[in-house]
Amino acid sequence: MVTVERDGRVLAVGAVLSGDGNGRILTSLSAIAGAAITAAHPVDTADVRYADGSVVHARIAHRDRSWDLALLVPLSGKWLDGLAASGTSPMDVLLQAPIAAHSGRPVVVAAHVRGLFDARAKEGGTLLSSVLDVELQNATPTLGAPVTDMTGGVVGVFVKACQGAPRPTPTPAPAVPATPAAATPSCVPLVVAAPLSAIHDFLVHAPLTAVTPSAWLGIVGVPDTESNTHGVRVMAVAPESPAQKAGLKASEDRTQADLIVAVDSQPVDSPEGLAEIISRHAIGERVKLLLLSAGKFHEATVVLRAAP
């Protein structure tokens, strides 16, 4: 489980999907899309804070406004362990759910399902079938938080919805004009848990592009086997790439080309090894390259970005 934040303020809780391979996160759409935005955090982005305190940027890659679900793709695929669907009925087992008011690890409280009912999307339109009416022990639900059994199997996710208000009983017209009463809302906002059937349908329809983008350095390199110092010789640098902006020099003449010896103190001796190390880093992250140029060692700082 993670907390979803913007500028240090908790917006929601999210669940990393087990076996996903990209570390994608299921959460509530309205908790993110309805939060204040800044230049650093556009409306479709947020920060994800993991249990160890590390934070990565993420973007909304898939959304369902009716069910109020969002799929976040972190800009780093480092965190892959997650939660899987429960194989038991939520009516028959003990349940729990995380709540989070502050940054850090969410607090887990006991929960139980009072029943199932049909609600409507938070705007009052689409019918949402068989939502879970979940009560927490002495706590208010946090949007996006998974409701799980005691083994960690997910039975639902807290989202916003609404319930139609009963129609008012007609009253006789007053003998004298009266001040108009406020209109009775047609939909009463509430927080429910989206069931597994809705979650499964949401994930099945996620686009193929909803995956973690790879960090890009922007060079063509070859192993250097002609010198005593092992590394990757820079043969070409892509225009406007992180490598070009950091001033890396390329040449077919190895005496004129930079040799990448290490990335953040990790030695590299092949293009494949260099690519593997770069892939562990997030887009926007700064990495230090140890270079050998004209017989002298020096460092260059590169800000990684997604490939064009």
Burial of residue 41, with CB atoms counted within 10 A of its CB: 0-12 exposed, 13-18 middle, 19 or more buried: middle
Q: What is the mean pLDDT of residues 157-171?
A: 70
More confident site: 146 or 105: 146
The closest alpha carbon to 301, from 249, 242, 236, belongs to 242
Residues 145-149, mean pLDDT to the nearest whole number: 97
Residue extents of the structural domains in the chain: 1-168+180-212, 215-306
Q: How far is CA 151 from the centre of its chain?
A: 23
Check whether 157 has a pLDDT greater than 80.
Answer: yes
Kindly state the average pLDDT of the residues 240-259.
Answer: 92
The contacts of residue 203 (CB under 8 Å, 6+ apart) are: 17, 26, 71
How many residues make up the chain in this entry? 308
Give the pLDDT mean for 63-77: 89
Answer yes or no: same fold for 1-168+180-212 and 215-306.
no
Q: Is 159 helix (H, G, I), strand (E, B) or coil?
A: strand
CA angle in degrees (0–180, nearest 5) for 175-177-181: 115
DSSP sequence for 49-103: E-TTS-EEEEEEEEEETTTTEEEEEES-------B-B-SS-TTSS-EEEEE-SSS
pLDDT tens column, 125-142: 899 999 999 999 999 999
Coil, strand, or helix at residue 261? strand
Let me know the angle formed at the C-alpha of 3 by 212 and 148, rounded to the nearest 5 degrees. 95
Cα Rg of the chain (Å, integer): 26
> Where does 215-306 sit in CATH, by number?
2.30.42.10
pLDDT value of position 185: 52
Band of residue 74 on the pLDDT scale cut at 50, 70, 90: confident
Average pLDDT value over all residues in the chain = 87
Least Cα distance to 3 among 45, 38, 55, 70 occurs for 55
How much of the chain exceeds pLDDT 90, in percent? 60
- 1-168+180-212: which CATH number, 1.20.1080.10, 2.40.10.120, 3.40.30.10, 3.30.70.260? 2.40.10.120
Highest mean pLDDT among 34-38, 197-201, 281-285: 197-201
| Predicted local confidence at residue 225, as pLDDT | 75
**pLDDT of the residue at 294:** 86
Mean pLDDT (whole number) for 263-282: 89
- Whether residue 169 has pLDDT greater than 50: no
Estimate to the nearest angstrom the gap between the alpha carbon of 205 and the chain centroid.
Answer: 17
Of 136 and 8, more confident? 136
- Distance between CA atoms of residues 72 and 46, nearest Å: 9
Which sign does the torsion angle of CA 249, 252, 258, 260 carry? positive
Residue 43 has pLDDT above 90, yes or no: no
For residues 295-300, average pLDDT: 93
pLDDT at 156: 97
> What pLDDT sits at residue 149?
96
Residue 223 in tokens: 């192993």
